[in-house]
Structure 1
Amino acid sequence: MASDRSINGIYTAQDPKSIPSGFIKSCSKAGGFAPRPLWDEITNGITPWFLHDNGCFIYLNCQDGRWWMDRWDGNPLFLADPEGSLLLPPMEGWVGLTGGRSGVPRVGYL
């Protein structure tokens, strides 16, 4: 279980062309960046991203080659290197943004 409980739960695959609402919120907070060009720049348009009921989301950032796990408001919490397939987030290997492994999530598949 992740230390930030909002991250815990079931995520469903989303259309890679759609943009998470949390990503849109973070673009607005970061100075009004246009979400569409930025989303298109960091994603490949092929790999699905994954959405929790509460708006938290997981996506593959193609610029740094890592999976990112963000809160509902777009604030990033954890990242991980790919593990095999680029179409699914890794089950293990998540680290906090400061590099710590305490309270990191574990991913499973249904």
Structure 2
Amino acid sequence: NNLAEGARQLLAAGADPNHKGRIRSTPADVARESRATHVLQVLREFAAQQQGAARRWHGRGITHIEVLRAGVEAVNGLYERRPSSEVPASFARVCEQELRTDAASTWEKLNGDGDWYRHCDHPANASYIYYNRGDKHWWIDGPSGLGAYKSPGPPHAPPANGVFPANAHGGWLVMEKGAEALSQPVLRILREGYDAGKWGA
């Protein structure tokens, strides 16, 4: 069924199954009205998968993320979890010096109450990783505070290697101007219960 396969691909690419859009109807509403039973089945399966993922990862939050093989070299390295109440230094600098906006309120709007991850290999490296609740993408921002990569994905964890296609080629989308040909990053996720000192062992 082409409609069902199209729905499956859109969901895999990060489409929001609860978005009502201009017609103020969810995809499930439209599918029911059109009697598209195969599409409804795809939506039900996706909802079950999301609920299962949330249950599996509940209580085992991410403590560290390591970025490897990124063509934008400054973002490679280990990142540590930080609370939502703390605003990334480079994000604040961009807001205050370039955008002329309040950093704390802008950060709360984009990040919500989610944890984020600060580069911790080098104190001077202000790169960070966070989930943007506005566009539903994970962002890897470089030391300047500007985006280096982004990829759609679930809010509980970033994609390790862009399993949620960000563009026609899949993977993380390079945001830095002039760096489009550089390699995409690979992420290694460290969760609670694991020893960060044994990373890579």
What TM bracket, shorter-length normalisation? 0.7 to 0.9
Determine the structure 2 residue equivalent to 1:75: 146
Distance change (3 Å), C-alpha of 1:101 and 1:67: farther
Aligned residues: 106
Whole-angstrom CA distance in 1 between matches of 2:137 and 2:181: 16
Q: Which residue type is aligned with residue 11 of structure 1?
A: Y
Report the CA distance between 1:87 and its aligned residue: 2.6
Q: Does the aligned pair in 1 maintain the 2:72–2:182 contact within 8 Å? A: no
Determine the structure 1 residue equivalent to 2:44: none
When you count helix as a share of all residues, which structure comes out higher? 2
Residue aligned with 1:6, SS: helix
Q: Structure with the greater relative contact order (CA < 8 A, sep ≥ 6): 1 or 2?
A: 1
Gaps of at least 5 residues in structure 1 are none
Determine the structure 2 residue equivalent to 1:52: 119
TM-score (norm 1): 0.86
Report the CA distance between 1:73 and its aligned residue: 1.8
Residue 88 (1) aligns with residue 157 (2): yes
Determine the structure 2 residue equivalent to 1:104: 184
Residue aligned with 1:30, SS: helix
Determine the structure 1 residue equivalent to 2:36: none
Report the CA distance between 1:103 and its aligned residue: 1.3
Which is higher, the Rg of structure 1 or of structure 2?
Answer: 2
Determine the structure 1 residue equivalent to 2:108: 40
Root-mean-square deviation (Å): 1.6
Whole-angstrom CA distance in 2 between matches of 1:11 and 1:82: 18
Runs of at least 4 residues of structure 1 off by over 4 A?
none
Whole-angstrom CA distance in 2 between matches of 1:105 and 1:21: 23
Find the partner of 1:9 among 71, 74, 77: 77
Could you report, residue by residue, the CA deviation over 1:20-68 in whole angstroms, capped at 9, with x for unpaired residues? 00100111232321101101111121x2101112221001100000011
